[in-house]
Amino acid sequence: MNDISFSLSTNDLLHADPRNIAKLQVELTSDCNLRCTYCTLSQPWYEGRHMEDSNIHKVIEFTKRHNIQSVHLNGHGESTIAPRWTEIAQEFLKSGFHLTITTNLAKKYTSDEIETLAQFEQLDISLETIDLKTLQQLRRKADIRQILHNIHMIRARALELGCPTPRIVWGSIIAAETVEHFPKLVAMAIECRINHWHIQSLTKMDEIEGALNLNPILSLEGEVFLEAVQHLNEALSLARKHQLSFHFQGSMAEDLMAKAREILTSRQSQASCRPGGPKAIRKSVIKADDSCMPADAILYGSGTPKGYTRDCTDPWSFMMLESNQQVSCCCFGQKPLGTLKLGQSIEEVFNAPRANNLRNSLLTGELDSICANCSYRTLVPVDKFHKKISHEFRVTTSLNGNAHAH
């Protein structure tokens, strides 16, 4: 039988079945116990809020109704400061859902909180350095000793309960001011048996007076940039040696490689004067391997050539419910699909006109500026993406040419 052809109507693929949502992200709160200098929450205009109980109930019922297996407690805030967060998590857990949480893990947790976290499938812990002073300057109020203690307490409780210990991921913002700390951070991750390291991009905020403000690593120039890349490469080499898997967010690895090569090419004569010559510097260039994102720099963040679109299935397979009642399908700049404030159900918002328009733009390659310049999803030919959506979300054609979603 031939593959599904592109003649399958785009209109047939605009409606998304909530049962195909691979991950549901729930923002229990947009407030936080920390005020990291690089975070939106540290801006003077920011106000956090907790999700209302009525909406929490809607989310839980929606998840059960559509048997959405993966639930991620995450958003702008720290989920473990939300009211009744352990009760909410336990309700998900008792229903058999796989729970992940993004957390700073910097609180002094109660025994009930430790027991709840011990039953999560994965803990994504935000951490850039193990240096006491730098961590307190950067994250303000965080103490690495408390974080490491919490990790061991959670694992120990999981053993007591007889359940699998949570998979632990460390997520680190790469910046000009943090990258030199990465080798020691990775060494600690290996010693603590951390499962994975996620190297994340920095979104530059307005600077805070008197604080340790972060700057993008790509803002560095010349030898200073190469030295920063060398710190990163030391960390990656250590991770590879000890089989700590890692990946870069979006196109960061490719962007770093491109800039390093540009500097090496333009400064070949100066490089020859350094100890060890050009070869010593070339070793600092990030090496892409199975642990990194694909080395397709030209496919990221470069506009959309005719006949191409972004390889993004999020409008069909991802949903984020925010504490302010907004419903989104993108973490990287797209406007929300709608809001629950108007009395609509979550299902109705998921297939509102805004959602259908976004899916249509991806299926046709007629992208807005946010998708066209996205640095988190590669480009792909429109017809190939169309077939992918048809296949992944099980849309087939009958003999009379009508489309059916399964």
Q: Are residues 230 and 270 in the same domain?
A: yes
Q: Does residue 27 form part of some domain?
A: yes
Q: Does residue 226 form part of some domain?
A: yes
Q: Does residue 365 form part of some domain?
A: no
CA atoms within 13 A on the CB side of 204: 10
Q: Is the pLDDT of residue 218 over 70?
A: yes
Domain final position from 185, 213, 241: 213
Q: Does residue 362 form part of some domain?
A: no
Domain that includes residue 242, residue range: 216-293
8 Å CB contact between 11 and 359 = no
Provide the pLDDT for residue 276: 43
Domain final position from 187, 213, 239: 213
Pairing outcome for strands 318-321 and 98-103: unpaired
pTM: 0.85
In angstroms, the CA 111 to CA 81 distance is: 15
List the CATH number of the domain containing 93: 3.20.20.70
Task: Lowest mean pLDDT of 50-54, 59-63, 137-141, 160-164, name the range.
Answer: 137-141
Q: Are residues 189 and 287 in the same domain?
A: no
In angstroms, the CA 78 to CA 42 distance is: 13
Please write the tens of the pLDDT for every residue from 222-255: 999 999 999 999 999 999 999 999 999 988 898 9
Q: Does residue 251 form part of some domain?
A: yes
Please write the tens of the pLDDT for every residue from 376-389: 888 899 999 999 99
Q: Are residues 130 and 187 in the same domain?
A: yes
Please write the tens of the pLDDT for every residue from 37-52: 877 766 777 687 899 9
**Number of domains, the chain:** 2
Q: Is the pLDDT of residue 292 over 80?
A: no
Please write the tens of the pLDDT for every residue from 183-203: 999 999 999 999 999 999 988
Q: Does residue 312 form part of some domain?
A: no
Q: Which of 2, 126, 131, 3 is nearest to 388 (CA)?
A: 3
Q: Are residues 239 and 205 in the same domain?
A: no
Please write the tens of the pLDDT for every residue from 339-360: 998 889 999 999 999 999 999 9
Q: Are residues 209 and 223 in the same domain?
A: no
Task: Lowest mean pLDDT of 77-91, 100-114, 324-338, name the range.
Answer: 324-338
Q: Are residues 149 and 87 in the same domain?
A: yes
Domain final position from 193, 213, 233: 213
Which residues, in sequence order, are CB contacts of 213 under 8 Å at separation 6+?
37, 38, 177, 207
8 Å CB contact between 125 and 103 = yes
Q: Are residues 140 and 273 in the same domain?
A: no
Q: In percent, how much of the chain has pLDDT > 70?
A: 85
- Give residue 215's pLDDT band: very low, low, confident or very high (50, 70, 90): very high
Q: Are residues 254 and 189 in the same domain?
A: no
Q: Does residue 112 form part of some domain?
A: yes
Please write the tens of the pLDDT for every residue from 271-281: 455 544 334 33
8 Å CB contact between 49 and 30 = yes
Q: Are residues 117 and 164 in the same domain?
A: yes
| Residue 15: C-alpha distances to residues 6, 28, 331 (Å) | 17, 27, 21
Q: Are residues 240 and 191 in the same domain?
A: no
| DSSP string across 186-239 | HHHHHHTT--EEEEE-----PPPTTS-----GGG--HHHHHHHHHHHHHHHHHH
* Strand, helix or coil for residue 92: helix
Q: Does residue 146 form part of some domain?
A: yes
In angstroms, the CA 393 to CA 17 distance is: 8
Q: Are residues 196 and 269 in the same domain?
A: no
Q: Are residues 203 and 225 in the same domain?
A: no
